[in-house]
Structure 1
Amino acid sequence: MAAPRKYPDELRERAIRLALEARRDPTTRTGALKRIGGQLGINPETLRNWVVQAEIDAGDRPGTSTDDAVRLAELEKEVRELRRANELFSVAA
């Protein structure tokens, strides 16, 4: 089970939007994540991770999207369950 989220989704979305806008403008790019994180009470490294994942999800950066990661986790769980069931069948036979 995942840990509860420390930040509300609305704050997360707003912070990502502000960071992406600030990073597009060369005059505000330097220190944007630290500045925005400080204003919103978010650790800059946490904000950086959110922005990177948002860029991956948008297709602007290579990596595993959130949807793909969820689907992969579901498939891995299914494989574990099937292997366990096969193991039980082979022991019983």
Structure 2
Amino acid sequence: MDTEIAGLKVPLGGGSHVAEASVVHDRAQSRCSASSDRFRSIAEVARDLGLNDGLLGRWVADERRRLGAASQTGQEPLTAAERDELARLRRQVAEQEKDIAFLKKASAYFAANHQR
């Protein structure tokens, strides 16, 4: 079952809600960055996109913070793909840190039992 949000078919049910939200967010972000949308209110753009204006307002605030932080450091802001990759890598590092902690405990256990 699909629905159309922000001019994009989004699968509903049986899929990842995070992925669905990400698709809608990326589509809304690209629409909001169009020059004609810069002079419209968040409520007006949200209505056109079929989104809640509070949600779109949070996305706009997040985007402004992201761009502001990048301009303060003199760097280019990360793209959506780069942010996704960064999040994936952070999850991977966290998982590997858990594995390392487990292996340290296991090796200490076997080392203690081997010497008896």
TM-score where L is the length of structure 1:
0.60
Equivalenced residues, count = 79
1:13 alignment counterpart: 26
- The answer for unaligned runs of 5 or more in structure 1 is none
Shift of 1:87: 0.8
1:83 aligns to 2:92 (yes or no): no
SS of the equivalent of 1:36 reads helix
Write out aligned runs for 1:4-83 (5 A): 4-5=17-18, 6-7=20-21, 9=23, 11-21=24-34, 22-23=37-38, 28-29=39-40, 31=41, 33-47=42-56, 48-49=58-59, 52=63, 59-60=76-77, 65-83=83-101
**Secondary structure of the residue that 2:33 maps to in structure 1?**
helix
Between Structure 1 and Structure 2, whose CA radius of gyration is higher? 2
Structure (1 or 2) with the greater strand fraction: 2
Taking the aligned partners of 1:60 and 1:34, their CA distance within structure 2 comes to 26
CA deviation map 1:19-66 (0-9, x unaligned):
11122xxxx15x2x322112222123433427629x66xx337xx933
The TM-score, its normalising length taken from structure 2, stands at 0.50
Q: Which runs of 4+ in 1 moved over 6 A?
A: none
- Residue 12 of structure 1: how far off its partner (Å): 3.5
Residues 67, 8 of structure 1: alpha-carbon distance in 2 compared, 3 angstrom cutoff: closer
Identity of aligned residues (%): 14
